[in-house]
Structure 1
């Protein structure tokens, strides 16, 4: 026959305690599960990988490449600037050299023009008149020498450009001989040398006209040794 268990007040209190303890355990388990869910959720968020020591990331590589390209551009620009500076200096030096050559050539031409333009200077005396006459005679292909001219001048007028013969036949005919080589006016007019003054008593004009006449009649003034 089953044993009859008597439930006392103590038994009821113990049961209540057990029930309460189970509820607390259940609540704790539920709380732990709830706390675990956010952790799991957080673990699903993507985390950017951190580079290991000494190993560059893609971002580092891109920055390095950009820096290298920038340095290369700067080096290219610097080299181009240096080449341009050299070219500019060479161009400046060339222009300066061309300018110097041009100025030198201009100076040479100016000197040449002055040398051509400046007439030869002769002394205003018998020696100067004979030498000037000889230069003109040379240009006009009129023969004669310094000695031939000087010898005949000294015989005819003693070197006086204003000497006049007032006693010979020419003088009696109204056309006296005048000048260094005692030339009459008609002869002077006929044998006057272009480029000399048209004045009978002009020393150079008188000598060249007389030499021109003597060349036509005697071959050269050097062949004249007396009145002609």
Structure 2
């Protein structure tokens, strides 16, 4: 606001009624903003702050960063918590407290007392319907993200980095890749798809809700990660042929 030589008008703190200097008359009445109004205004704005998150089984830095829309993504999350995590960002132990630079959007008004006391009702059908409306690009990045979303719903551990690393080694990102020369192929069960899964493994670890086709990129990733979780604890722990 530019500086001026005029005397500043005095205000009545109870009514915010402006008293014009020298006249004693009211020129304008401004109602005070109530605490409720102020709170509603604050709740509609986006807030950014630090969140303490305690890791649990199946967590990955990518998943945590994505959940909280962390500033700087998983790399910044790792940088901020490297001392607690250790030298391997892919190996996340349970019970570790992480500081997350979270971006949390608060858009709904505060609940009433009745709403707060009422139990939440959200069926598994509603959750599945919500998940089904998500869309992902039809490329390697989208396939991995889609798979991670399904894995999260089914408690299958794994990170973007672990999946991507193994895909690039096994198929170079080609969902139609097939191995017709190794021992599996000689036995009549060639390895197929992004993560080179043989048919018996795909049948055993296929996750309902995904396409029953080992060449389908998302179904292939989810089944392979489900198998890796059962045998190695997580696809993140796989660093060679499995």
**Larger % of helix: which?**
1
> Normalising by the residue count of structure 1, what TM-score does the alignment of the two structures yield?
0.49
Q: Which protein has the larger Cα radius of gyration, Structure 1 or Structure 2?
A: 1
**Larger % of strand: which?**
2
> Normalising by the residue count of structure 2, what TM-score does the alignment of the two structures yield?
0.46
